[in-house]
Amino acid sequence: MDLRFTPEELAFREEVQTFFRENLPPSIHTKLLESKKLAKDDIVSWQRILNKKGWAVANWPVEWGGTGWTPVQQYIFQEELQLTPAPQPLGFGVTMVGPVMIAFGSEAQKKRYLPRIANLDDWWCQGFSEPGSGSDLASLRTAAKREGDYFIVNGQKTWTTLAQHADWIFCLVRTDPQAKKQEGISFLLIDMNTPGITVRPIITIEGGHEVNEVFFDDVKVPAENLVGEQNKGWDYAKYLLGRERTGIARVGLSKERLRRIRELASMERDGDRPLIEDERFREKLATVEVELKALEITQLRVVAAERHRTDNKPDPASSILKLKGSEIQQATTELLMEVVGPYALPYQPEREDEERWNEPPIGPEWAGPVAPTYFNWRKTSIYGGTNEIQKNIVAKAILGL
């Protein structure tokens, strides 16, 4: 047992850091450091830089452009993205629909879509949730009826993240209304430019536009866009949701946030001394640091165990990554609220949006995104399966209750 990284692993980290330092555009880096919103172009141009290097789809099999890295290398790469910080390659393509196509798609689908996912030529979004089907996803009702060489799709998806940028949406649709609810679902790829699709923004509590409603009104989808077999979509969705084991904890992101909190709390004054010297504040900070350290080791345990995995049984430790990871991320946003204090108050959305950014800031330069981030980050215990649903899954799959 040796919890230190090997010299080879450290050299790899060095290589990743150097590449990021030399190739990440400074404007993107600054936005992330200051928790400002990225424009679509920022995400696209960075993913293309990664793709040129061969790192955009690091987790894929080598024959489809993956790197063949060990689990530890994958982990280091992910962590460096978060620590730098640099944008993550777009998850909907790289960690969701891409791997599903690789596992279950046709050769034609792989050839057509995978290279475009890697280069972010196509922006994908995820059409699973519906107004009546959130946690109980299998109750979904958006219908796809086979007519000749097409499926005719009618219904509504909701909470669709960044659908406003999307070229394609991968959807769970009901193809057999008679069957048991999990057995009548198919996995369908839909071009967002098809007539009959309407996208409407949903504005979230902090004022941002991340999520959307997507309506389907007699949308004609070529039958060749079905992934795998008809009515097997639920299995593919489970595969997709179960794959992301280690990225979800986002330890690197929380580390970077804590670094920033220390930096800002050393600058902010509380009476005649910096806030960082306040004992109670330091205890809270230390509390989160302890939890994060523990989670980091837990995550490394899961990563290290990957190479011994033979079956698909999840490591008991992996189940806690999303639960603890989301709580810790949320705790860091609360600490930042405490650092900014009364200047959490001013609502200045235009400062999030570079194009319209010409007014001087109200309060400290960095205050603008603090409260919005706190509000927005409540989502991490809701999306991707709520924390309550995660506990249901752990109770059943791991504890056998």
Ligand X SMILES: Cc1cc2nc3c(=O)[nH]c(=O)nc-3n(C[C@H](O)[C@H](O)[C@H](O)COP(=O)(O)OP(=O)(O)OC[C@H]3O[C@@H](n4cnc5c(N)ncnc54)[C@H](O)[C@@H]3O)c2cc1C
Question: At CA 266, angle to CA 263 and CA 271, rounded to 5?
Answer: 150
Q: List binders of another protein among 101-120 (CB under 8 A).
A: none
d(Cα 255, Cα 270) in Å, to the nearest integer? 24
Instruction: Say whether 8 is catalytic.
Output: no
262 binds another protein (CB under 8 A): yes
Beta strands in 168-228 (DSSP E): 168-174, 185-191, 197-203, 209-222, 226-227
The least CB distance from residue 225 to another protein, in Å, is 39
Q: Residues for the chain: how many in total?
A: 401
Q: Which is nearer to ligand X, 66 or 93 (CB)?
A: 93
CB 329 within 8 A of CB 254: yes
Cβ neighbours of 355 (radius 10 Å): 7
Q: Give the closest residue to 58 by CA, choosing from 89, 29, 84, 80.
A: 89
Nearer to another protein, 41 or 279 (CB): 279
55/60 Cα distance (integer angstroms): 10
Rounded to whole angstroms, the Cα distance separating 221 from 392 reads: 36
Binding mask of the shown chain, residues 289 to 308, with x at each position contacting another protein by CB under 8 A = xxxxxxxxxx-xx--xx---
Instruction: Provide the token pair at 186.
Output: 């198919």
Is 285 a binding residue for another protein by CB under 8 A? The answer is yes
Q: Which residue is nearest to ligand X (CB)?
A: 134
H/E stretch holding 220 reads strand 209-222
Give the rounded distance of the alpha carbon of 69 from its chain centre: 21
Q: Least distance in Å: CB of 235 to ligand X? A: 17
Q: Which does 134 bind (CB under 5 to 8 A by kind): another protein, ligand X, none?
A: ligand X
Q: How many residues bind another protein (CB under 8 A)?
A: 52
Least separation in angstroms between residue 44's CB and another protein is 28
Catalytic residues: 244
Q: Which residues bind ligand X (CB under 6 A)?
A: 126-129, 134-135, 159-161, 210-211, 379, 382-383, 385-386, 388-389, 392
Q: Which residues bind another protein (CB under 8 A)?
A: 1-6, 9, 72, 79, 83, 254-255, 258-259, 262, 276, 279, 282-283, 285-287, 289-298, 300-301, 304-305, 316-317, 319-320, 323-324, 388, 391-392, 394-396, 398-401
